[in-house]
Each structure stands twice: as C-alpha cells, then as structure tokens.
C-alpha cells in the first residue's frame, strides 16, 4: 500500500522530539510549553462535580451554551466588543485545532498565506495540507518586530490570509497598537482574512496591554481569533479551546467543525462555564507568571546565555552565539544529554531552519525546577 504524502517534508514535531529526549536522558524539560505545577483544585473539583451530575454525553456542537455565554461576557468586559454566543463562538478541541479549522474553512488551492517566522510549528503544515502556499516573512532579529513594509511588498492578488500570534511563541513578542494600525491599513479594502492566535492572551507582562483583534470590530469582520483553555488554566492536556469570528465566517467554520470533532468534552466545558465567574483566576495570571520569568532571568545571569527579552507567553529566548558555533538543534540535544536540561532550538520555527544560535526556554515551572535547571546549566548534572 502506498500513500502519497500530503506533508512530504514534515517530520515529527520538535516538541515531541525534545520531550522524548528529555524523558530518555532524565533531563529537566524546559522545552515543550507546559507547567509542572498543579492546576486549580477548584476547577478539577468542578469537573468531578459535572461528571457526577451527569454531564457526560454530547453537548451542543458549537460548545456548551452557558460556556459560550460566559465567554461572550468576558470578551465584552475585557475588550469592549459585544459578540453573540450563538453565532460567533465555537468551542474546539484545543487552540491548534481552532487554527487548523480556520485555515481549512477559508483556503483554496494556490491561495497565499502570510506567515511570520519564527512560527508555531503547526501553521505551515496547516497551510500546505489545504493546498495553499505559505509566504514566509521573518520577524526582524533580534527584537522580532514585524516588518510591515515587507508585508505590503509581498501582497499579491492571491494573498488570502495573514496569520498573527501575540503574545508570540517562541519569542514572547507582543503586538502594539501601532502594529494593529499597520495591519489595518494593509488589509483595508482587500479580501484578506486574519487568523489571530491569541492562546497567550493572559500571559502578558511588564504592564503591556494585549491587543486582541476582539478590540477592533472592523478587523473582527475578517478574522478568526483562536484561544486555548490549556494555557489559561494550566491544563495543556485538556486540549480545549475556542474560536471567535464574525457570524458569516463562523457559519462556514462550523460546517468544517461539525464533520470533524462535532463537539468537545462536556464535563470540562460545564466546569469552565462555572469557573469563568472567577475573574481573578485569569486576571492575575500575567503577574504570577511574570514572577517566574523574572526569577528565571535572574538565575540565567549566572550562565553565558544572552537574554532576548520576552514580554509574554510561556517562553524566553536566549542567544548562545557568544560562546558556541554549534547549530541550535545539536546544542539542544547536547544540553539534554550532557547537562540534563532541555530547550527548544529556534530553527525549528523556520521552514528553512534559519539558525541565529538561539534556544527557547519554558519558564512556566516551579521555582525549584528553574533553579535546578540553571544550576545544571552552570555546573552540569
């Protein structure tokens, strides 16, 4: 039997490669983005309660209605935009799926999609599997700013979509109001859609304000805005997220969703609907995770790694060009084996494996984990 591969150049995602290696070598895993601390016991209690109360069958295909209502209320409060839970929100099995569904809803063969690199590793395969073409634009190293002039220059009559991600994985870069203005002027009077990956919406530091597309009704008309409960509530293994869009766009999105996942985990949606009343749980997230970032930054001063500051997400990038010529993947493997610490090489976020000699570390960990990891980086296992 022979399959003509739809993704001939894809290997195994770097997150699985590095997490498996970390396990094999008993390394401290600061690679793949997940917390090593417990999630809220109140929230897990609510899931248990929902299961005991019989919420164990399919819920509505667009998501548990009360959860969608609570999300709409949250959006209005945070971003000042009124959205309709019945026509504008769909709950999905994770943020990655939410993004995939948006691309699959819109893209036709040979459409062009602008994607900024370094990019979360699902975007380009999601474009390719739909027969469309990624138009890659590098964020400016080392501050990872968006080169809007280059975006303008690369527009063609086939440009169908721009994928945004703020706060950004892997760099922690956060889009500013000025970026939104540039985006607005580029898409005005075009048929270009936007997919805005905002899974790190609450993981934002240094007093910066998240420039959600949801703040801008004119942009929302052409956008699919994607979120993940996994990141907000420290439960990446739950794989639950949601997408918000304009009613006409969401109608098409749901056609794709209904014949794929159809609906998502019911008891967790029931629990999340109740837990969304706890505003502190998400509003305090940025400050508490910033403490971890600051602690990690301080610790890393004892190493020769040079900081590339992050203002959001679970991650901070560090350059090692001052002390090694090694390529970043080899260094990440060697650190895992020899020092017992795992990071992610930034080249994995570039289709052509651009290597600026940078590693990404996940700091969303217990303090002791971070301390032990940096101790190992300094003195070995």
Q: Residue 176 binds what, of ligand GLN, ligand PMP, none (CB under 5 to 8 Å, by partner type)?
A: none
Where is 229: in which H helix or E strand? helix 229-232
Per-residue tokens: 22: 């970390």
* Residue 120 is a binding residue for ligand PMP (CB under 6 A): yes
Per-residue tokens: 123: 């975007």
Whose Cβ is closer to ligand GLN: residue 220's or residue 362's?
A: 362
The site for ligand PMP, by CB under 6 A, has a size of 14
SS3 call for 142: coil
Q: Residue 94 binds what, of ligand PMP, ligand GLN, none (CB under 5 to 8 Å, by partner type)?
A: ligand PMP
Q: Determine the interface stretch with ligand PMP among 4-12, 188-196, 203-211, 233-241 (rule: CB under 6 A).
A: 233-241
N-to-C CA span, the chain: 47
Q: Residue 228 binds what, of ligand PMP, ligand GLN, none (CB under 5 to 8 Å, by partner type)?
A: ligand PMP
3-state SS of the chain: helix, strand, coil percent to 5?
45, 15, 40
Helices then strands, counting H and E runs in the chain, come out as 16, 13
Which stretches does DSSP call E strand in the chain?
A: 28-29, 89-92, 112-117, 133-138, 159-165, 193-197, 223-228, 241-245, 306-308, 315-319, 341-342, 344-345, 358-362
Whose Cβ is closer to ligand GLN: residue 98's or residue 151's?
A: 98
* Residue 95 is a binding residue for ligand PMP (CB under 6 A): yes
Q: What residues from 27 to 46 belong to the interface with ligand GLN (CB under 6 A)? A: 32-33
Whose Cβ is closer to ligand PMP: residue 199's or residue 264's?
A: 199
C-alpha angle 321-323-329 in degrees, rounded to nearest 5 = 60
One character per residue 210-229, x = contact with ligand PMP (rule: CB under 6 A) = ------------------x-
What DSSP string runs through 58-99? ---TT--HHHHHHHHHHHHHHH-----HHHHEEEESSHHHHH
CB of 15 to ligand GLN, least distance (A): 3
Q: Residue 197 binds what, of ligand PMP, ligand GLN, none (CB under 5 to 8 Å, by partner type)?
A: ligand PMP
Select from 341, 333, 366 the least CA-distant residue to 26: 341
Q: Determine the interface stretch with ligand PMP among 90-98, 151-159, 262-270, 277-285 (rule: CB under 6 A).
A: 90-98
Alpha carbons 144 and 319: distance in angstroms, whole number: 13
Q: What residues from 212 to 251 belong to the interface with ligand GLN (CB under 6 A)? A: none
- Beta bridge pairs of residue 90: 243
Q: Residue 95 binds what, of ligand PMP, ligand GLN, none (CB under 5 to 8 Å, by partner type)?
A: ligand PMP
* Residue 245 is a binding residue for ligand PMP (CB under 6 A): no
* Residue 169 is a binding residue for ligand GLN (CB under 6 A): yes
User: How many CB atoms neighbour CB 355 within 10 A?
Assistant: 18
Q: What residues from 170 to 199 belong to the interface with ligand PMP (CB under 6 A)? A: 197, 199
C-alpha angle 363-368-370 in degrees, rounded to nearest 5 = 30
Following CA atoms 124, 75, 272, 210 in sequence, which dihedral angle do they give, to the nearest 10 degrees?
Answer: 50
CB of 313 to ligand GLN, least distance (A): 9
Whose Cβ is closer to ligand GLN: residue 266's or residue 342's?
A: 342
Q: Residue 15 binds what, of ligand PMP, ligand GLN, none (CB under 5 to 8 Å, by partner type)?
A: ligand GLN
Whose Cβ is closer to ligand PMP: residue 339's or residue 360's?
A: 360
CB of 32 to ligand GLN, least distance (A): 4
Q: Which residues bind ligand GLN (CB under 6 A)?
A: 13, 15, 32-33, 169
Q: Which residues bind ligand PMP (CB under 6 A)?
A: 33, 94-96, 120, 165, 169, 197, 199, 228, 230, 236, 239, 241
């Amino acid at each position: 039997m022979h399959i003509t591969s739809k993704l001939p150049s894809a290997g195994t995602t770097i997150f699985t490669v590095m997490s498996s290696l970390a396990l094999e070598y008993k390394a401290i895993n600061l690679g793949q983005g997940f917390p090593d601390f417990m999630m809220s016991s109140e929230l897990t209690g609510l899931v248990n309660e929902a299961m005991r109360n019989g919420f164990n069958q399919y819920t509505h295909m667009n998501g548990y209605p009360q959860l969608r209502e609570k999300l709409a209320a949250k959006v209005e409060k945070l971003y000042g935009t009124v959205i309709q839970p019945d026509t504008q929100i769909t709950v999905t099995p994770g943020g990655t799926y939410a993004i995939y569904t948006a691309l699959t809803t819109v893209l036709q063969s040979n459409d062009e999609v602008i994607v900024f690199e370094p990019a979360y590793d699902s975007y380009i395969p999601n474009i390719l599997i739909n027969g469309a073409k990624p138009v890659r634009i590098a964020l400016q190293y080392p501050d990872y700013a968006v080169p809007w002039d280059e975006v303008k220059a690369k527009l063609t009559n086939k440009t169908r979509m721009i994928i945004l991600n703020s706060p950004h994985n892997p760099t922690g870069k956060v889009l500013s109001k000025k970026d939104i203005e540039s985006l607005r002027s580029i898409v005005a009077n075009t048929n270009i859609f936007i997919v805005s990956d905002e899974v790190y919406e609450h993981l934002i530091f240094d007093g910066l304000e998240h420039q959600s597309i949801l703040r801008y009704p004119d942009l929302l008309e052409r956008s699919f805005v994607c979120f993940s409960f996994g990141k907000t509530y420290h439960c990446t293994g739950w794989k639950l997220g949601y997408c918000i869009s304009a009613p006409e766009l969401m109608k098409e999105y749901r056609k794709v969703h209904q014949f794929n996942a159809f609906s998502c985990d019911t008891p967790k949606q029931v629990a999340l609907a109740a837990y969304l009343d706890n505003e502190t749980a998400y509003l305090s997230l940025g400050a508490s995770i910033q403490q971890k970032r600051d602690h990690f930054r301080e610790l890393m001063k004892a190493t020769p790694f040079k900081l590339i500051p992050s203002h959001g997400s679970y991650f901070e990038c560090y350059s090692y060009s001052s002390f090694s010529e090694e390529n970043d993947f080899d260094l990440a493997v060697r650190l895992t084996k020899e020092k017992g610490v795992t990071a992610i090489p930034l080249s994995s976020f570039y289709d052509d494996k651009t290597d600026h000699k940078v590693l990404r570390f996940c700091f969303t960990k217990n303090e002791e984990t971070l301390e032990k990891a940096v101790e190992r980086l300094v003195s070995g296992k």
